[in-house]
A and B are shown apart, each in its own frame.
Chain A
C-alpha cells in the first residue's frame, strides 16, 4: 500500500521548469510532488512586494521564449495567463538624443532614419534575416537533440536527419545561421548598420546573461537565442506577464495543481536517494523522506550532479564535464520603487517608457563595460536593460507611482577585489548614477532600491555562480552538449533520475522546453518499462 510519502514522481525545484515538468507528469496521470526550497514557487521567476504596494520582479523580468505549445498543452489561459504587450523600446544615446521605437513599422523607419537613412531599411532586412534563421532553427530547438555519443541506429538516423534538414535549407539562411552561431554580434550588426545606437541597441541581446562582449565570438549565438522568442506570432518580441514572471509562475503552479500535482513549499532537498544505481526518492534537509521511482532535478547541472547525488556514483567523464561546465554569472538586478515615472529631457508622457529601456548606446560602450568584467571588476558604466513595469501592468505599483526593473551587466560573480557583500551598494549607486545621467533627478524619485548581485542570485535562487541560464550559452554547452555529451536527453546515469532545468537543452530565458522535453523522456521511459 502506498503511504502518504509515496509518489510516482518527485520534482526537485519549483522554478518554471520544475512546475512545467510536474504539470506534464501530473497531466499524464502520475502522482507528482513538486518540492520547493523557498516559501514561494517560481525559482528565478518570482514577484515580491518588497516595498508596500510595489511589486518587484527580483530576478527574471519579461517573457518571450516561452514555447507556445506549453501555453496550450497546460491550458494556461484557464489559469490566468496574460502576456501583456510592451509597445515601445527606448534607447537613449550618449548625446541626449534617443531611439524610440513603437509598433508601427513605418513610423519606426522614420525614427531610425532620423539617425541614419541607411539603417532604416537595413533594420527591415536585418529583421527578415533574423526571422528566417529563427524559423529555420526552430525545429531543432523545439525537439530533443540526438545523443551524439550513441551508436544506436535510431540516434544515428536522427543525426543524419539533422544534416539533411540543414542541407535542405536555403544556402543563404544556413550561412546566416552559421554566422550567428559562431560569430560575434558585432560582426553581424556592423554589416547591417552604420549607427552606434542601432548597433548598441541590438547588440545588447547578444550579451544578456553571458560573459561575452559584443565583439566576442559567441555573442552571435546569444543574439540568436534571444531572437528565438515569440509573442503572438512575432519572433523576437517580448511580453510582460501580468504580475511579472512571478505572476506567470503562479499561473503555472495553478495549472500543475489543477492537473493533480502537489506542491510543497519550504522543503529543501538534501539528496536524492538511490538503491542499486537507481533513484528511489529524496530526503529533505529536515530528514523527511519521500519515495518515488522517478526523481527529476530542476536545479542546475552542478547541483543536479555534484550536490543532490554523490559524484562518485557517476561516470568520471560526466563529472569532469560538469566540473568544466561554465557558469560565471555576470548579471545583476537593481530594482527601484519610484515616486513617479522618471522624465527624459524633451519627452512628455510615458509612451517611451512602456517597454524596454536600453542603456547601451554603442558597441564600444558595451565592449568597455565588458572590459571591466574581464579583469574582475563590475562595469563602471554598465549596460542596463530597464523596464518600468507599472507602465505596462498598473498593478505593479500604486496609482501614479512606478516600479522599475534594471537588469545590469557586467557584474562578475568572482570579483578580483572585495566581495559582493561589501560592494553591493556600490553597484546600486553606480546604476543609480547612470540613471541620474539619463533621467535628471532620478535619485529624488527613489523610494526603495533592491540590489541583486550574482552572489544573491546564487544564494536566493540556487543558480550556481548566479548564472541566469543555469549555465553559459556557449557553443560547447548547447544542443548535443547541454549539459554534457551523452547526457543531453534529460536522463542521468542513475536510472529513474532525470534533469529538467535550464542547464539542459534548449536552455534558459523562461522557455519551459527543458521541463516539457524531460516529461516526454520520463513518460516514454515509463511506457517502455511497462512494455
Chain B
C-alpha cells in the first residue's frame, strides 16, 4: 500500500509540474499587457515600461519561467496584478468561504441523494422512482448559473425567503463582526455563541448551497439507485429476507453498505467537480470565495492568479482522488490497491 501511495504521489508531482508549465506558457501566449493590468488602463508608456521592468516582464520567457518555478518551491506563488495581494494568501483567505459552500452542498447531496436513491431502488417503476429519476436528470443537466438565477429570482426576489447574495448581512459584518477562528461563518458564530448571526449566516448559505447541491444530489441519487438495484438482486439479500430480517435493516445496513462504494467514488468526483462548479455559484451569489477570485482574475487577465488557482485546483483534485481510492479500499475489501 505504501508503494502504491508513493507511486501515486510521484505521478501527481509529474502532473502538477506539467500543469504548471502549460499554464505558464499559455499565460505568455495569450495577448495581454500584464503591466497595464498592474498599473491601470490609463497609464502612459513610460509608467508601463517602469512596471514591466519592476515585474521582471522584460526578461526572456525561459528566465521568467525559472524564476517562477523557484519562487513556487519557496511558497511564493506571485502576486495578483489586479489587487496586488499574494496569490497563495489570497487563495487561503478565500478558501473557508468556498469550503463552507462546498461542504454544505455535499452534505445536502448526501443527505438527500442517498435516501432518494435507496427509495427509488426499493420502489422501482413506481411513481416515486420516476420522480427521482427525472429529478436527477434535471439536477445534473441544468446549467448551474441558470438554476442560480432562477432560485435567486424566485426564492429571494419573489418570495423574499432568503437574502439573494453575500455571506452575511453587511450591518452585522461591519458593526458586529464574528470573531475569526476557522473562517467558516457557521462554526465561528456557533463558537462565539452568536445564534442570531449563525441564523443570518445560514440564511445566506441556503441559496448558493442548494444551487451547488443540484448536480451532486442528482448524481448521488442515480448512482445509489443503480448500485442498490444490483445489490438488492444478490442472493444474500434474498437469504436475509427469507430469514425474516426487517426490510429497513436489509436496505440501510446490508444493501447500502455494499452499494456505497460506487457512490463514494461519485461523491469524491463531485467534490472535485464542485471546486470549479462553485465559480458560477459564487459569481451569481456574490460569494467571496475562490470562484469569485478566479472569475475576476479571468476577466482581468490576471495570470498569476489564474495560474495559482489552476495549480491549487489540480492539487485539490489529485488529493481528493487519492483519498477516495484509499477510502474505497477500506470500505470494500474486493478493491485492491495496485
To the question of whether A and B form a pair in one complex, the answer is no
List the interface of chain B (C-beta within 8 A of A). none
List the interface of chain A (C-beta within 8 A of B). none
